[in-house]
Chains A and B, each alone.
Chain A
Amino acid sequence: MTRAAVEQLLYLLDEAFEGIDKPWHSMLGNLASVTEDDWLWTPNGGARTVRGITSHVGGAVYLYYDRAFGNYAVFGEPIKSWNVPAGDLGVGTEDLDSVHRLENEPTMAAVIAWVTERARAFRDAVAQLGDAAMMEQRTNHRGEAFPIRWFVATMIQHYAYHAGEINHIRALHQGNDSEG
């Protein structure tokens, strides 16, 4: 079983979520500089909070795991609910994405821990694959068929993209908007 391709995608996945070699553009690297005060703040003209974006990343990787590796056990096939329980946070995944403040708002630390747990489950499933398996087809939540490597690449994109959005919100709130 060759793994040259899997190893490179795992490297990109790890750098995008955890930023082990370089945290600048990673989810956890950017969340590390977000304060409790930043977490639910929105800029003028904005609606999404850092909490909403972070949770969206967690919900998406939960969904992508379910579609690529989980045999639809969580969200169903076809999708039965977008608002499945977000671990033991006491709220649903879609509630957590929302722009509204929740009655039972989980702590920032608990949300980040849940998102990290979901990202690691996805990463562990990828790590079990060989290169040939990366080209096996799965259907995404829109019913489109893609090779598994597309699911992995899309999660890499998703982590780095939303890390950028988180950085921008944080920088506007902290008044230190500069290149990073």
Chain B
Amino acid sequence: MSREGIEQLLYMMDMAFDAQGYEDSLLRNLRSMPEDSWLWMPPGGSRNVRMIAGHVAACKYMYWDHAFGDGTLTWNDPAGALGASIEEMQSTPDLGAREPSVGATIEWLCEGHRLFRDSVAALDDAELPRLRRPPEGGMHETRWVIAVLSHHDLYHAGEINHIRALRQGDDRWAWEEEGR
């Protein structure tokens, strides 16, 4: 049973979600966003950081359930114990009194990542071409499903960074600060 390919995909998934160094991971960027800016919307924008984090988490649960589980989870199901639906977490800018804490939202995100990652870790390389059904429908190779979610973390980490930079007024390159 070969696992060389799976191990590389897991390596990439781990770097994308929570890199241990200075690399651009999702959690690193979420941690750099002050909690009081979590719901801030940039001028001309229609998404805040909670909506983006909620979207990334929502996709982890939906892709996990539809590609590896029984495919019964819907966008209208509860987002864990957060008191909101999966859909609300990604599309409602402010849930008012029902707004979950930043910590609880990140915990929900991490649990979704763990479920998806554990499903990938249980595979061997022979499973990578096997067709699975993502929540949007159609059939795709397993490695396609893994690639989509891995890139998804990073893509939205970049969007979160840009919102944070606009909010904090420090939209510049790290090397400009370091004065290399």
Q: Let me know if A164 and B150 touch, CB within 8 A.
A: no
**Which B residue's beta carbon lies closest to that of A44?**
B43
Instruction: Tell me, in angstroms, the Cα distance from A180 to B91 when the chains sit together.
Output: 12
Q: Which one of A10-18, A32-40, A112-120 is at the B interface?
A: A10-18
Q: Let me know if B154 and A177 touch, CB within 8 A.
A: no
Instruction: Tell me, in angstroms, the Cα distance from A167 to B161 when the chains sit together.
Output: 12
Q: Let me know if B161 and A165 touch, CB within 8 A.
A: yes
Residue A48 at the B interface, CB < 8 A?
A: yes
Q: Let me know if A25 and B55 touch, CB within 8 A.
A: no
Q: Let me know if A172 and B5 touch, CB within 8 A.
A: no
Instruction: Tell me, in angstroms, the Cα distance from A118 to B180 when the chains sit together.
Output: 23
Q: Let me know if B47 and A177 touch, CB within 8 A.
A: yes
Q: Let me know if B45 and A177 touch, CB within 8 A.
A: yes
**What DSSP secondary structure best describes chain A's contact surface?**
helix
Contacts of A149 in B (CB 8 A): 8, 11
Q: How far is the CB of B120 from chain A (nearest CB, A)?
A: 12
Q: Let me know if A172 and B42 touch, CB within 8 A.
A: yes
Interface size in chain B (residues, C-beta < 8 A): 54
Q: Let me know if A158 and B162 touch, CB within 8 A.
A: no
Contacts of A47 in B (CB 8 A): 171-172
Residue A80 at the B interface, CB < 8 A?
A: no
Q: How far is the CB of A89 from chain B (nearest CB, A)?
A: 19
Residue B110 at the A interface, CB < 8 A?
A: no
- For A4-23 the 0/1 string (1 means CB < 8 A from B) is 11011101100110000110
Q: Let me know if A8 and B55 touch, CB within 8 A.
A: no
- For B33-66 the 0/1 string (1 means CB < 8 A from A) is 0000000001111110001100100000000000
Q: Which one of B77-85, B97-105, B111-119, B141-149 is at the A interface?
A: B141-149
Contact of A153 among B12, B46, B156, B180 (CB under 8 A): B12
Which chain A residues have a beta carbon within 8 Å of chain B's beta carbons? Answer: 2, 4-5, 7-9, 11-12, 15-16, 21-22, 24-26, 42-48, 56, 82, 97, 99, 131, 149, 153-154, 156-158, 160-169, 171-173, 175, 177-179
Which chain B residues have a beta carbon within 8 Å of chain A's beta carbons? Answer: 2, 4-9, 11-12, 15-16, 19, 23-25, 42-47, 51-52, 55, 90-91, 125, 128, 140, 143-144, 147-148, 150-152, 154-159, 161-163, 165-167, 169, 171-173, 175, 180
5 contacts between A and B (CB under 8 A): A4-B125, A15-B151, A48-B173, A165-B162, A178-B46
